[in-house]
Amino acid sequence: MTDVDFVALSPLIVLAATSIAVMAAIALRRKHVATAALTMLGLAAALIVLPLAASRPSSRVTPLLILDPYARFYIGVVLAATIATAGLSYGYLEKQSVRREEFYVLLLLATLGAVVLVASGHFASFFLGLETLSVSLYGLIAYPRVRAASIEAGVKYLILAAVSSAFLLFGMALVYARAGTMDFIRIAVLSGAVRPVPEITLLLAGLGALLVGIGFKLALVPFHLWTPDVYQGAPAPISGFVATVSKVAVAALLVRLFTLMNIHAHRPLLLLLTAIALASMVVGNLLALLQNNVKRILAYSSIAHLGYLLVAFLAGGPLGVTAVTFYLVAYVVTTLGAFGVISVLSGGEGDTDRLDEYRAIFWRRPWVSAIFAATLLSLAGLPLTVGFVGKFYLVVAGVGSALWFPVITLVATSGVGLFYYLRIIATMFDSEREMSEVAAAGSTVPLASAAILTALTLLLLYLGVSPTPLIHVIQTAIVGFL
């Protein structure tokens, strides 16, 4: 490795060093505010050195990592989302009767795994990044050890993540048996060559097993059963982290791997992805209608949103990748805002996630309610929000590739989704005579949480009105990749 390689790796080095520094600081003295501040400072430093990493011409760092503009863009998204999660977690943990400091070590390690996953160019780094992310999430999900629901959610995620890892390893083994390499680019070159039917069958079986494992991580139907229970049992900031950072990292790798391999040349896999997309959109929205728990509604909603995302992925090409990337950014902003509101409303006894706990909350907490309403309207895809622009791009990409049935399903199920989002909003604006105890409570919002929620809301509205700058950045990032 050269000095150029070390500069290119600087965001990962800073992130790893921050996790070590936080562990050392905890060993010397336990202080929640100092640990949270050091964590956010390290995350901000990793974000700041990204332009320095971009100044170096080398993008391939060892056979394992590709640090091109595409990877750096997603690393920036992951780091920014983690900063928001850490800020929201501080106020949330202040109310909990647990040791708070180790939470940030796990959060930093999960972020490091997500960053490695985004920059992966090899099956070895793919698996190492995924397991670093997953193992850290086991602890984060079950962190409030006094809550039975959190322990249950952690165990469920552990078991199903282990199953998905088994599928991934089996798929990697089959692809390696066919291609003789684990490097993404070399696999893509070899998979494009004309081969006998048995070898093509082996390759398709390997890619299918990989798709099953990735489907578990993205919570796509029929691999979605863990999602509502884990979202409900996990601490609210971590539910948001699982819904955003975890899925963004896996989706970024999915786009890189399957675009390099020209998934559109393999019709059986294309049909399988289409069926998964349709099932995710329909099942996610219909099951969300039956829920009376806000976190479970958002969980089923996330299943539907990943189904929407697959429509643009199936379209492929520069427009498809641009639409996928923009929609992921829109999804991160709105979902973090939604779970951020749940975090600031939650107390020490448990999360405020039952729908009746939000009854008439607007009349005592108008600012928090307005932010929640804005995020829900963005998730529904209404105009003047980033969610509307994101869905518009998905539809344009799908229509451009003549994916008529998936596009029609996207539009129809989005209409279904609007109902349960408006149901939550209507509950918040309900009669003051039926105000819940949570709505009547007058506790203040921590400064860090207030700043983050305000920034997310402003970004949600700004990108909904003026998405062009972000689109230009995305198009620049994917030029070399495609």
List, for residues 50-98, the tens digit of each pLDDT value. Answer: 988 877 766 788 888 888 899 999 999 999 999 999 999 998 888 877 7
What is the pLDDT confidence band of residue 436, given thresholds at 50, 70 and 90?
low
Q: Determine the pLDDT at residue 147.
A: 82
DSSP states along 290-305: T--BHHHHHHHHHHHH
End-to-end CA separation in angstroms for the chain: 26
Residue with tokens 């809550």: 147
- What number is the average pLDDT over the span 134-146? 89
Q: Determine the pLDDT at residue 430.
A: 80
CA distances from 54 to 72, 312, 419, 461 (A): 8, 28, 44, 29
Angle subtended by helix axes 197-218 and 247-260, to nearest 10: 160
Q: Determine the pLDDT at residue 118.
A: 93
Q: Determine the pLDDT at residue 88.
A: 92
Q: Determine the pLDDT at residue 54.
A: 79
Per-residue pLDDT tens digits for 164-185: 899 999 999 988 888 888 888 8
- What number is the average pLDDT over the span 392-397? 92
Q: Determine the pLDDT at residue 192.
A: 60
Q: Is the pLDDT of residue 109 over 90?
A: yes
Q: Determine the pLDDT at residue 482.
A: 64
Q: Determine the pLDDT at residue 141.
A: 92
Q: Determine the pLDDT at residue 53.
A: 81
- What number is the average pLDDT over the span 283-311? 93
- What number is the average pLDDT over the span 342-367? 85
Residue with tokens 């009767």: 97
Cα radius of gyration rounded to whole Å, the chain:
21
* Tokens (6 digits) for 237: 């900031």
How far is it, in rounded angstroms, from Cα 124 to Cα 419?
44
CB neighbours (10 Å) of residue 201? 14
Q: Determine the pLDDT at residue 208.
A: 87
- What number is the average pLDDT over the span 306-323? 90
Q: Is the pLDDT of residue 193 over 60?
A: no
- What number is the average pLDDT over the span 348-354? 79
What is the pLDDT confidence band of residue 194, given thresholds at 50, 70 and 90?
very low
How far is it, in rounded angstroms, from Cα 73 to Cα 81?
13
Q: Which comes out higher in pLDDT, residue 191 or 340?
A: 340
